[in-house]
Amino acid sequence: DAKTTQPTSMDCAEGRAANLPCNHSTISGNEYVYWYRQIHSQGPQYIIHGLKNNETNEMASLIITEDRKSSTLILPHATLRDTAVYYCIVGTSGTYKYIFGTGTRLKVLA
């Protein structure tokens, strides 16, 4: 069973920031938060991961609350090509059995 909860769908205007929330209230101290996205029917694409500190890379930023029970993936300037299903996954450094829930279907609108 998925250990994360995400909204089913979201819309975002092109050029605006897309903020995708994820609840992981049962996360344990050594579990990371990973984000992937799946564009159309392609293979999932790794976006970012973090443990407790906020993280940023060329694709996105990850904000993790202090109690680590939730996080937000931020795409700072969404484009039409960011339309995809976004998955939030939690696991320890040794986790290999990723559990993909239903994810959030993000639609970026022109």
Q: Which residues bind other proteins (CB under 8 A)?
A: 2, 32, 34, 36, 41-46, 49, 51, 87, 93-103
Nearer to other proteins, 16 or 57 (CB): 57
Nearest one of 25, 23, 15, 2 to 75, comparing CA atoms:
15
Across the strands, what pairs with 105?
A: 9, 85
CB of 24 to other proteins, least distance (A): 16
CB of 16 to other proteins, least distance (A): 27
Nearest one of 55, 49, 42, 34 to 84, comparing CA atoms:
42
CB of 97 to other proteins, least distance (A): 5
Nearer to other proteins, 67 or 96 (CB): 96
Nearer to other proteins, 70 or 104 (CB): 104
Alpha carbons 28 and 108: distance in angstroms, whole number? 33
Kindly report the number of other CB atoms within 10 A of residue 105's CB atom.
16
